Amino acid sequence: MNDKNDICVIRELAEQVAGIAAKPVQEERRRLWRDHNSFIRTRPPIYMRWFACAHEVIGQDMKCEDPFWRGHESGLRQLVVQDTLEDDYIIEPWITQRASHIIPEGGPYGLPYKHIPSTEPGGAWKFDPPIKHLDDIEKLVRPSHVINEEQTARNVARLRDAVGDIIEVDIDRSPLYSAWHADLSYDLAQLRGLEQIMWDMADNPQWLHRLVGFMSESVQRVHEQAEKAGDWGLTSHENQAMPYARELPDPKPNSRAVTRDRLWCFVAAQEMAQVSPAMHDEFILRYQLPIIREFGLVAYGCCENLTHKISYLKQIPNLRRIAVTPWADVRRCAEQIGDRYVLSWRPNPSDTICCSFDPDHIRKVIRSGMGASKGCYVDITLKDIQTLQGEPDRLRRWVQIVRGVSDHYA
């Protein structure tokens, strides 16, 4: 297929998404999330994050050959499917082109991230960290916020020429060192190796403080540079949900020169899941705090169990959302969260959709979780769905079953 045919595919999908974005239900969902995230009682919002199994759902439909168009095709097809699930995901009337960033040669901190692959198909890989010796820390390079303007302009022009008459093209110029690259934990594990970090906490604590401190100062510097350059925008919100709240401006395409105190920030520390609360606080959270304090509201947590760490998270002054994962004790988390924060509950996908599909069991799981968190401001996110066992319709059915239970807890 040539570029012309790829563009025909993209245009057709853009027309579908533009139509979906214009549906009145999108504004209803904006009101829902805006109220929910600002502690106004609503029914529990439901968010289906199924993209990990996208290959099962849209893989056979993919038509574009050019990698640039194929990436946008995948995103647009996912939105078309999302519309059929009838969850509370908001489909916005724009398509985003990420700016191209220039990073230090070698990797985000000047050193390559390498992994040792599994000998078994689909097996787990191991870290092959570049910092193997303590003095390797001297090889780190402090990053800066630099955008490749020529490449960015070229990509934006291609997309606007193709679909600009159908849907608005948003340019996301926010810094590369956001989300996973801003939570420190992800890059720390890549640089030093997960197991070795835990040894360092006991054997080389001052050295580890120096390393994490360098990373924290680097992220702060990059964020400040992006703000001075006017490169944060209202589509730079990050909260692993729908980023609407009464305290912050709504997402808006091509809105430049936004200060961080008007944005959501998402931070996690999945790599610290097996680290004690005190060590989590000492080696990660204290270095995350200077980064996240600059933002308007903060969502904390992804897949890690935060049951025993919530007391430490409460020192985050702008904390609004806390993740409660399949491995967390929902009741104990709810007791600590109360009505002070939003409880973002993530039921176990393996138990409820991946390995089997039993409607009665799903209802039992949801009743249990909603009962344990009664009185909290709860939303439900199903994420990390690795397989649907060849039954994509499970996604829609799961939402219907869960809504039939959760709405009674409004």
* CATH code, domain with 345: 3.20.20.210
- Structural domains in the chain (count): 1
| pTM (2 d.p.) | 0.95
Residue showing tokens 């916020």: 145
Q: How many CB atoms lie within 10 A of CB 144?
A: 16
What tokens were used for 180?
């996973």
pLDDT for 1 beyond 60: no
- What 3-state DSSP class applies to 75? helix
What tokens were used for 119?
């000998």
Task: Give the whole-angstrom CA distance, residue 1 versus residue 163.
Answer: 19
Distance between first and last Cα of the chain: 50
pLDDT for 410 beyond 90: no
Q: Which helix (H) or strand (E) holds 207?
A: helix 205-228
% of residues, the chain, pLDDT over 70: 100
Choose among 138, 130, 46: nearest CA to 85. Answer: 46
pLDDT for 367 equals: 97
Mean pLDDT of all residues in 323-348: 97
Domain around 271: 3-409
Confidence tier at 353 by pLDDT (50, 70, 90): very high
Strand partners, 147: 101
Task: Give the whole-angstrom CA distance, residue 14 versus residue 292.
Answer: 35
> Who contacts 274 (Cβ-Cβ below 8 Å, separation ≥6)?
198
pLDDT tens-digit profile of 46-55?
Answer: 999 998 999 9
